[in-house]
Structure 1
Amino acid sequence: MRGKLGAITDMVRSGVAPAALIADQAETAIVEAPNLAGLDEVDEIPPVEQIEATACEYERAADQARGTDRGERAAKKVLDRLPAGTYGTWRVCRTPSSR
């Protein structure tokens, strides 16, 4: 809705004062983003080998977490369909939601 309203406003403005639209675009300046707090300075950057090892470990951990999430969702799907009761050594129970 907001996008359509903006387009309609621009159409009206282009008929009334077309130069105003160009002036609005010309005033937009590119601003360089400041350095984020906590980033290492050039002389503090660890060796490339350490960065590669850390990136590899991060990727392995992220893959493992995704696999765990998939397994959890698959198990929850099965358990959510079961009525409350004892199944082997496991007890399935329902607790009321606080929502």
Structure 2
Amino acid sequence: MKKSLIHNVANQLQWQTYQQLELLPNSVENPQAKTAKFALGLDLVWRLLIIALTKELIYQDQQVEYLERCWAFDFEENNSTNSQTLQKLWTLIK
């Protein structure tokens, strides 16, 4: 109950700020104030789904970038010194 009250107050403050910045008249109502409890549940599920998909996308992008760095890396240089080897290792890890 307390969380809900805090959320409502924060939502109202955000709406007022938005209303002032966009020069909306007071007759325009906050669209989130009319949200039903059922819609709130759907909103939560939707947000969790978007967060999960975003994390998965970021993880896949990181994997692709790592593989591209590995493929671009020239492993067959025979005359490399220790510092060059460490530098190449650092390039792969980045």
Asked if Structure 1 and Structure 2 have the same fold, meaning a TM-score greater than 0.5 normalized by the shorter chain, the answer is no
Structure number with greater CO (CA < 8 Å, separation at least 6) is 2
Per the shorter chain, which TM-score range? 0.3 to 0.5
Q: Which of the two has greater helix per residue?
A: 2
Q: Which of the two has greater strand per residue?
A: 1
